[in-house]
Structure formats: structure tokens, C-alpha cells
């Protein structure tokens, strides 16, 4: 049995456009004070007006990366949850944009474990991602290959160049190679 003490009475915002996912996650976190939102607008309102220890944000249905920006500004640790955007590039993007973790929906039955890892890492002064590789490394290797991290990094660095941008994000000028 996993230690759930760190989760007791935590304020958790769960955002997803699927009601069954909201209900399931709430049921899986009985020791927490859970608030649910099924739209971007409602989640934005809640993030901007209330305190939360953690926000669990669906990537696709509710513009999760935009909500991540708000959570970061408010000092709320955010977990990116996805059923459709679970590729290496979104895991890397979640990490780079300040999420505390990235969880495929097919693993959400263990959400208490992942949230506990984040809180334990914070209590120990470690990165919230400190156990992510242990929890999901083999999942990503099976699904995307042993070199999934290298592929994701390569895709991330090539994307700006393909769009005519430099790695810094600025538009390339005359004389710069595309």
C-alpha cells in the first residue's frame, strides 16, 4: 500500500472535458479536497481565484498547456494528463514548460502514487520529476522505442528551424540558413 499521508487534505484541481475522468480521479483521491472543472474557462477562473496544491490538467480537451501557464504564475504544481497527446514531444514540452509531471490517462488509476511522488520530492527539495523515469521510463520505451528521449529532443530543436525561425525563436534574417 502506498503512503498517502502527504496527500491528506491537499487542495487538488482536476480539469478534463470528460466527466467520467473527473469522477474517477475524484474517487481515487478520497483524502484530498478535490475541485473539478470541465472547461478551460472554469479552470482558468478557479486557478486565478483559489488556492490549490496541485492541478491535474488534461492536455487536449481543455487547452492544458495554456492552463499550465496560469498554474505556473500562481505557484500551483501542475500534472499534465493525457489520453491522446501522449507522445515523447508532449512529455518533454510538459517538463520544459514547468509541469510537475506528465501522466498518460491509462495510468491514472495510480494518480495517488504520482501526486505523492511530487509532494515527496518537494518535501525533500528534489525535482518533482525525480521518480518519473522510474514510473514511466519503461512505458515510453515500449511505446516509442529505446531512444524516445533523443527523438523528442531532435523534434523539438528542428521545429523552429522548419518554420523559418532560429532556435531562439526569432525569425531568421537574410543570409541566415534555414
Q: What is the pLDDT of residue 38?
A: 96
Does a structural domain hold residue 173? no
Is residue 128 domain-resident?
yes
State the distance between the two ends of the chain, measured CA to CA, in whole angstroms: 54
* Assigned domain for 176 exists: no
Q: Residue 100 to residues 18, 74, 145, 165: CA-CA distances in angstroms? A: 22, 14, 24, 28
- pLDDT per residue as tens digits for the range 132-152: 777 776 666 666 665 655 555
Q: In angstroms, rounded to a whole number, what is the distance separating the alpha carbons of residues 25 and 109?
A: 8
Q: State what percent of residues in the chain have pLDDT above 70.
A: 72
Give Cα 128 to chain centroid, integer Å: 11
Count: domains in the chain? 1
The rounded percent of the chain whose pLDDT value lies above 90 is: 53
What sign for the dihedral angle of Cα 88, 91, 95, 97?
positive
What's the average model confidence in pLDDT over 38-58? Answer: 97
Has residue 63 been placed in a domain?
A: yes
- Judged against a pLDDT cut of 70, whether residue 6 lies above it is answered with yes
Could you list the residue range(s) of the whole structural domain that residue 58 is in?
5-162
pLDDT value of residue 163 = 31
Task: Place 169 in a pLDDT band, splitting at 50, 70 and 90.
Answer: very low
List, for residues 92-128, the tens digit of each pLDDT value: 888 899 999 989 888 899 999 999 999 999 999 998 8
Q: Tell me, yes or no, whether 170 lies in a domain.
A: no
Lowest mean pLDDT among 54-58, 73-77, 130-134, 169-173: 169-173
CATH number at residue 24: 3.40.50.2300
In a domain, 145, yes or no: yes
Amino acid at each position: 500500500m502506498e503512503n498517502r499521508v502527504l496527500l491528506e487534505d491537499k487542495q487538488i484541481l482536476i480539469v478534463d472535458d470528460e466527466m467520467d475522468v473527473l469522477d474517477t480521479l475524484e474517487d481515487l483521491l478520497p483524502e484530498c479536497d478535490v475541485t473539478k472543472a470541465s472547461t478551460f474557462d472554469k479552470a482558468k477562473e478557479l486557478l486565478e481565484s483559489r488556492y490549490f496544491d496541485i492541478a491535474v490538467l488534461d492536455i487536449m480537451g481543455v487547452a492544458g498547456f495554456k492552463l499550465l501557464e496560469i498554474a505556473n504564475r500562481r505557484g500551483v504544481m501542475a500534472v499534465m494528463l493525457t489520453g491522446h497527446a501522449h507522445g515523447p514531444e508532449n512529455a518533454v514540452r510538459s517538463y520544459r514548460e514547468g509541469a510537475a509531471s506528465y501522466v498518460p490517462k491509462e495510468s491514472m488509476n495510480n494518480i495517488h502514487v504520482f501526486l505523492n511522488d511530487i509532494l515527496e520530492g518537494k518535501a525533500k527539495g528534489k525535482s518533482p520529476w525525480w521518480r518519473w523515469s522510474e514510473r514511466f521510463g519503461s512505458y515510453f520505451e515500449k511505446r516509442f522505442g529505446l531512444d524516445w528521449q533523443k527523438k523528442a529532443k531532435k523534434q523539438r530543436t528542428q521545429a523552429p528551424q522548419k518554420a523559418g525561425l532560429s532556435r531562439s525563436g526569432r525569425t531568421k534574417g537574410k543570409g541566415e540558413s534555414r
